[in-house]
Amino acid sequence: MNHTRPWITAGVALVGAGVVAVAPVTPMSGPLPAVVAAPAIQLTATDMVLDLVRHGQSVDNVEGVIGTLPPGAPLTDEGATQAAYLADPTNSQHLADPSFYDGVYASEFLRTQQTAADWLAAAGATDTSPTVLSGLNELNAGFLEGTSQSSQATALLYLVGPLAWMFGQYWVPQLGSTLDPNGMAFQDRFSDAVEQIYANGGTVDADGNLNSVAFSHAAAISTWVMMNVKNPDFEIYFTSLLQGLLPNTGQVVVEGNPTDGWTLVSWNGTEVAENPGLLTGLFVDFRDLMVAPQMAGWHIWEAIGGGDPADITAALQTGFNDVLTAFAAFPQAVIDTITGAMGDAAGGGVGDAAGDVVAALAG
């Protein structure tokens, strides 16, 4: 059976009041559509469908140990079976044939690389090896490394930082961690990995998208996705949190590109609405506004720590431009969100749509 993290349940209490209303979700199953041949393309505006897959059951999962330093514990026999099942068409979340993907990636951990290898072997692609990217590593646990997952106090301490980051508070520290000391550092390293996957390119499918699959970890996947997508589904996130985030070999699928941003497509087989609704849309607008100065400040601090005047000057200039751009774009983003919500409600008439917007803002 899939091994989840019951200790994580305690973290829900930290943000229960912050849950944002979202649109209903519907089940989704089956592989992505078949790929078609296409000439080489420029990656300026092409979207990529990225399937983020949690590893199979590991020895740490069975023993209830928080292990977030590579190489980490290997898969159990059950974990190897789960990984091979990703190639089975009877699996509602089975992956496509390996040849469909432009790239197969994994973190530095044994459990992700073994999951990828066992899936590839079961799919008859033993000559394919995953590309290892350190940016896909698990969210570091800091001084909680090696402790028991069963303690509620441990759960609260491990989750307080990531949960704050999802709400735009990147400055909140991950206690005791030098690898992921805050949301800015985590955002940089996981996003760098995603950007590398995108930059590696490939061929487009029938829908004009690139396609890649990356094997990572439950906390890292869920945290990065909720920090970055335009349509974060907090209802489905907190529901999954009660069940341990993602089961072994559970998947989160996003679509987009590093320039235009990312949209959440599905979470563990459940399709997510592309339009997040008014309240979530406004939250994303405010989140993006809050994040810009935090990222700029972090990059300036890193440059100062490096001591290179050229790097410091570049960080100051880039940071200023990024913050200025975010503040300049914010009013239009809010207007677009509100008018988009009114357009979605247009079927009920302009008056009703305007009333819905006012009621949502007042509520």
Residues catalogued as catalytic: 55, 138
Query: What DSSP string describes 287-347?
Result: HHHHHHHHHHHHHHHHHHHHT-HHHHHHHHHHHHHHHHHHHHHHHHHHHHHHHHHHHHTGG
Identify the three-state secondary structure at position 215: strand
Four-point Cα dihedral 37, 52, 18, 177, nearest 10: -140
What tokens appear for 257 in the block? 């590109």
- CA 112 – CA 104 distance, rounded (Å): 11
Decide if 137 contacts 221 (C-beta within 8 A).
no
Give the chain's largest Cα–Cα span: 61
| Contact yes or no for 231/225 (Cβ under 8 A) | no
Distance, CA of 171 to CA of 182 (rounded, Å): 6
Tokens of 162: 């990531």
Q: Which SS3 state, helix, strand or coil, does residue 211 take?
A: strand
Tokens at 137, concatenated:
């590593």
Strands 26-27 and 270-271: antiparallel
Q: Which of 171, 154, 119, 193 is nearest to 301 (CA)?
A: 171
